[in-house]
Amino acid sequence: MVADLIATCYTKARALRRTSFLLFGLCIFLLGCSDTVSVLPHVKVAGQTMGTQYHVTLVAETDADALKAAFDKRLAEINKVMSTYDPESELMQINRAPVAQPLPISDDLAAVLALSLQIYSQTAGGFDVTVGPLVNRWGFGPVEAKGKPDEAEVATLLASVGSDALTLEQADSGWQLVKHKPVFIDLSAIAKGWAVDELAGMLVARGYQDFLVEIGGELRVSGKNARGANWSIAVERPSLAQGGVQAAIGVSNLAVATSGSYRNYQMYNGVQYSHTIDPSTGQPVTHNMVSITVLADTCAEADALATGFNVMGPEAALAEAEARGLAVFILVDEGGEIRELSSSHFLPYLSQH
């Protein structure tokens, strides 16, 4: 069943927990360590995927070219399943398929959808893989904005939004998806995180313990870095003009993702609109949260939770994080001044840096 599928995914993830760490978004940097500390042998692998770049740092002596070939092959497989830019991807075929019919889907797609539906519920609908048409219409997709949508347009698009219109079923032949209305599924807010977890899993399967995997700013680490220390991560200060570090943490056995709105927005009639769209209203969020960083077991989970919490707003997100024992770090804009909020579970990571 769906719960079993999610449990299987988490079983794979927990095999990585020696020091698994994720990072999401353009607003996080890796911090360096002192050059006076000896550096262990390590290799770096980089490549292109999902319209961005991936980087892997592995603390070991190994064949980097062979690793890159294996990574590229797996990433191509994932892209062929989840891309919305490839009209022949599995996901795009599902999007074109008729409603109310059981549609056979791959294990990869079923696993990502199962986690997506779980986090849809956990974030009160804030994380919704069917919100893409609204995101595009507000000018945050691949097509140039046509101006601010009116209420009628938003209402029309909202009629085809809602992950509660998706049912995941297990049949004798495998997993099936049923769409109960003509939704358009877009996994861009979770697919990169999922791919990070997959590459991390490949490294663990090969016996490696100390590594960093990053795709498009989403990141996961395991073990120690080449200097034998925890991986150090910095959250960027949300200022286009100044930049810099807002907070730094030392992490191990975790994933981290950040979702923010201060770099990505549209201007309509002199008014700034966030790229974060509330799936319940079809409108950009108006709260004062500029970024949220989430620590979780897997990159996919942290990625999706960060997006969902960004929709919920600072108070609701912080309350949910406390209730679930999650470590989150929030930056809010109070009259031009940035204020920090965090769950009680986040504070220990500040002292580890």
Handedness of CA 338, 344, 348, 349 (dihedral sign): negative
DSSP reduced 3-state for 268: strand
- Rounded to an integer, what distance in angstroms lies between the CA atom of residue 100 and that of residue 177? 9
Question: Which candidate, 112, 141, 165, places its Cα nearest to that of 2?
Answer: 112
In contact, 243 and 260? CB cutoff 8 Å: no
- Rounded to an integer, what distance in angstroms lies between the CA atom of residue 109 and that of residue 90? 8
In contact, 13 and 245? CB cutoff 8 Å: no
Amino acid at 178: V
Query: 255 labelled as ligand-binding?
Result: no
Neighbours of 299 (CB within 10 A): 35
Query: 52 labelled as ligand-binding?
Result: no
Query: 307 labelled as ligand-binding?
Result: yes
Question: Which candidate, 300, 293, 199, 280, places its Cα nearest to that of 238?
Answer: 293
Give the residue ranges of the annotated binding site: 189, 303, 307
Give the residue ranges of the annotated binding site for Mg(2+): 189, 303, 307
